[in-house]
Chains A and B, each alone.
Chain A
Amino acid sequence: MFHLSRKDQIKLAIFALVVVTMPIWLAPLGAAYPGLMQKFAIYAIFAIGFNILFGLTGYLSFGHAAFLGVGSYTAVWSFKLLTMDIVPALIFSTLLAGVFALVIGFFSLRRTGIYFSILTLAFAQMCYSLAYSVLTPITNGETGLLLARNDPRVIDEALGAGTVGGAGLPTPALLGNTVSGYFGFYICAALLILAFFISQKIFASPFGLALRGIKSNQTRMIYTGFNIRPYMLAAFVISGMFAGLAGGLLSVTDPIAGAERMRWTESGNIVLMTILGGVGTLIGPVIGAWVIEYFENIFSAINKNMLNAAFDFLPDGVQNLAVTVLSKFVGEGWHLTLGLLFVLIVVFLPGGLVEGYLKLVARFRRGRGTKPEAGGK
């Protein structure tokens, strides 16, 4: 059950180390604050789950934001109705997202290819519209679902546990300890490492082999005695549950749930992350998630003054030119940079950043005259 190959053990150890030391290595990059690092971890979980579907089976879902949204709302409701403790909140987020994935997957998986993608997109847009308008009593529509001082919180009430957070709004807690800042980040980090481990297990299992078989040759799968439907549905539900967990964590670190988390742009985002990093690889989606989150939060904050300062050493005219050109690509223009990066990667490195890395390693080895190996993965 917990067995990993030697190679996977090493990968897991390195991965855990990288995640835990984020506050150190992100500092020089200007991103070492807890709020952002939490997002790094949360979106990495989302991407790992998405990759179990898209990477292993090749089925491209354009509606995974729905599960992220369901997870967020569920966690906030768990805070409101039951307890401010995050354990039930995260469990319910994951489970309810799984139920949604079961229903949406059941119908969407009746089709393959582009029709499957369109169906998932349609379902997610339905969820978004429902959350935004019809289901206002549950989702609080445009405003978003918020905590309130007078929420019932029956479990907390029954246990007589005073509301954590004192006079203001209650805050999420783990066994009585307020979840915020670095503590919040380390909870997300621990779950990210767990998610990575589960993904390793699935990749190395006969179940994972069957999913890859589906991606590789459905005809062979069917005439070899596999029933593809339940395999696909299981993969879809598992990846939906990862998304639900990520959504729950978004609410744990910031207890507001809004419909915008279900928008198609969120669904598109996760696709970009996975492709950017490397579809079907263990680590690729995580890297993709980090790069995109970094762009969205740090790159977008660079402004003209910062550029001016950076290019101070250049002669005036050149400095002006450089700043004018570059300023189109930073700040508001970060989408432009990301778009360019994405195009370059898809055209030149269809296997994403991970493929780029493997190519570099191979070239480096060849350069030193040693025998090129078939990539580290």
Chain B
Amino acid sequence: MSVTSENAAAGNAANGKNIVLHAADVIKNFGGLRALSDIDLQIEEGKTHAIIGPNGAGKSTLLNVIIGRIAPTSGAVVFDGTVLTGKAPHEINQLGISRVFQTPEIFADLSVLHNVMAPAFARRDGSFRLNMFRTTAREAAIREEAESLLNDFGMWDRRDDHSGALSRGDKRRLELCMCLIQHPRLLLLDEPTAGMSRHDTNTTIELLKKIKLRGMTKVIIEHDMHVVFSLADKISVLAQGRIIASGLPQDIKEDPRVQEAYLGGAAE
């Protein structure tokens, strides 16, 4: 928690770092349970920021606050100068934030290809467009991009399958494609490799690294330390709703508080 200064809230920190997302003093209570307390999190542009912590720490809840799924009890989230708190979820997405959920949220009744094309329409046409006389199959640009993404993720030959029939790991990769085709400025990943084989996990890490090259900012929640340490530029540790440590990967690895709260105890 060393470098974070109070007045970085405006977005651009004095030391030249460009803060794209800032969650400021976020508190979330579920009845008597304080799921998030005094969260102050800054995400730097172009970096991969991992959030780790034991089960029930509040990691998913934090993402839910960012994407407008739940309203914080107090505090605010600012994305690139825009206050997200109070905005509708589709507006937040339109600003350039996409999320992969912990339990895959895909269109189980649609084909794999249509799953990937639909988000591209939302991206291109905005949150509503009455384009009932156009033909989905003839949207060549979107179709090609969707197919090439599916190809990158090794799912191209499954493009006409019913996505509900995919394995859990494939659903996750599909959901990742659905987010990537939106070219989000900020990609939120809630345990993107859970349920994947070691091989698929490694492929996914490679692909996420490529995205990093393209300069997409990412927040990744992971239990798999192999994934975390291969990807993260910065790590924040969440325990019982508080950020107990935040810093570079090697510092986090050595931090005794972290080892006590998480790394030491959790043999996962």
Contacts and interface: CB of A to CB of B under 8 A. Distances in A.
Contacts of A4: 135
Interface residues of B, number: 40
Contacts of A3: 135, 138
A10 interface: no
B136 interface: yes
B110 interface: yes
B89 A217 contact: no
B90 A226 contact: yes
B99 A213 contact: no
B140 to A, nearest CB: 13
* Chief secondary structure at chain B's binding surface: loop
A206 B131 contact: yes
A231 B127 CA distance: 9
Contacts, number: 108
A227 B128 contact: yes
Interface stretch (A33-41, A197-205, A254-262, A293-301): A197-205
A299 B112 CA distance: 45
* Chief secondary structure at chain A's binding surface: helix
A231 B131 CA distance: 11
B88 A227 contact: yes
Nearest to A198: B132
B106 A205 contact: no
B206 interface: no
Contact of A222 (B89, B114, B133, B138): B89
Contacts of A207: 129-132, 134
A224 B93 contact: yes
A210 interface: yes
A105 to B, nearest CB: 14
Nearest to B103: A219
Contact of B118 (A1, A202, A209, A222): A209
A231 B121 contact: no
Interface residues of A, number: 31
B99 A205 contact: no
A209 B138 contact: no
Interface string A185-214: 000000000000000011011111110110
A225 B181 CA distance: 12
Contacts of A227: 88, 90, 127-128
Interface string A142-180: 000000000000000000000000000000000000000
A49 to B, nearest CB: 13
B164 to A, nearest CB: 9
Given A207-B132, A224-B182, A212 B109 contact: yes
Contact of B133 (A201, A223, A224, A238): A201
A328 interface: no
Contacts of B117: 206, 209
A208 B135 CA distance: 9
Nearest to B164: A216
A21 interface: no
A220 B107 contact: yes
Nearest to B89: A222
Contact of B105 (A215, A217, A225, A230): A217
Interface of A: 1, 3-5, 201-202, 204-210, 212-213, 215-217, 219-220, 222-228, 230-231, 234, 238
15 contacts: A202-B132, A206-B136, A207-B130, A210-B118, A215-B109, A222-B88, A223-B67, A223-B93, A223-B101, A224-B98, A224-B119, A225-B90, A225-B182, A230-B128, A238-B132
